[in-house]
Structure 1
């Protein structure tokens, strides 16, 4: 009897570009350019910048959970550490093709940077992936990577997005995106309470106290969930 392969919900197209923008505080046009690529002008004419994130299927209209995590990490590399797009592209190509790591941005053994190059830990060495494999100095992207939980294979399985756009290092992990909870919608960590449902009920006139009592949840957690949804309690 043939074994039925379980469906990995992390790779299902489930998030629109607008939702990804809302959840990650990244402009949807930026996310779209990472996913679809973009055309730009040079002195030699038009050039095309290849995508950095691979959709679940080429014709998919939505991003997967894996893609959300990739965008979360790409922002850290591209904006926080100011690594150039060409270096990122070279690194991802090297890691995927030479080391055999599909979707390297969601792997625990990836994501080390010194602000100039991207690295992957492989065979107990740290390789400078954007230069084709030279040993390099290690610096972990702590502020972003600590917001990702991985499974036993070291692959991202849960993401704790930043509540506020300023992305404070000490921001608590109150909101979580888990593809196996609430259809992958953001919820209050440790519960199955979707932040969007709280926002809708609060906008309909229900107070923080009523919501906290109804869901048996701390008032402060309800307030943080509303802040994440962009609503002033």
Structure 2
């Protein structure tokens, strides 16, 4: 069971700026803003508004919760298919939400079991996707879902974000857990922030020295520094 802080589940606390989410998940900030805040776009006569796919708290500045981060991570799989009409994606997600009667279906265990097939089926019927296209999307979704670890209630509690450009065989040395270091990226099994390691490395500390200083596996320190470099690139 997730530990509550003052009766509040830390996964629901607005914590991450859009730029934070972009850095951790390797998704353009503009894309995340469109998905969570919405955007105006020009049409022949005036403009329209693209409503957000992932509702977030109406705060200034706009901040995402850990659960929102999970939802963005899952939707990232859909970005592989650039021809996708996100309005159709919204319809498919609305269908899943109605089926499960939950407010964050993408962050729940049920989506990872029968939900993916329901989403693919509904999405396919909306856009007339080919069988091959549906298979590719399912593979992409599953690759992302495998990076999520649920708690005993089925809600996502940990995220092992992609740290390399190739999604296949990404290691799991670093993790995000809303209960540790305010949900910042850390070396798995510790509270050691990847950003701190990267800053010390840039200041001149060697990987071997950092591994000794923090009593960490050298490969974990190496991956922590690599993922921070990848995030900045």
User: Alpha-carbon deviations, 1:35-59, whole Å to 9, x = none?
Assistant: 111111222431111101111x222
State the shift of 1:94 in Å. 2.5
Per the alignment, residue 205 of structure 1 pairs with 204
The Cα RMSD (Å) is 2.9
Residue 190 of structure 1 deviates from its aligned partner by 1.6
Please list, as runs of the form range in 1=range in 2, the aligned pairs for 1:116-155 lying within 5 A after superposition.
Answer: 119-120=117-118, 128=122, 139=138, 141-155=141-155
Q: 2-side partners of 1:62 and 1:44: how far apart? A: 33
User: Contact 1:13/1:64 (CA < 8 Å) preserved in 2?
Assistant: yes
Distance apart, 1:78 and its partner CA = 3.1
Tell me the equivalent position of 1:185: 184
1:49 maps to which residue?
50
In the alignment, structure 1 residue 7 sits paired with structure 2 residue 8: yes
Task: Measure the CA separation in 2 of the matches of 1:82 and 1:182.
Answer: 38
TM-score, normalised to structure 2, is 0.82
User: Deviation of residue 220 (structure 1)?
Assistant: 1.6
CA distance in 1 between partners of 2:123 and 2:111 (Å): 10
Matched ranges for 1:14-33 at <5 A:
14-33=15-34
The 5-angstrom pairing of residues 30-179 of structure 1 reads: 30-55=31-56, 57-59=57-59, 61-80=62-81, 83-97=84-98, 99-110=100-111, 119-120=117-118, 128=122, 139=138, 141-164=141-164, 166-179=165-178
Higher relative contact order (CA 8 A, sep 6+): 2
* Separation (CA, whole Å) in 1 of partners of 2:40 and 2:117: 27
Compute the displacement of 1:97 (Å).
Answer: 4.1
Q: Which has the higher helix share?
A: 2
Q: Secondary structure at the match of 1:22?
A: helix
Equivalences, count: 216
Distance 1:65 1:167 in 2: 24
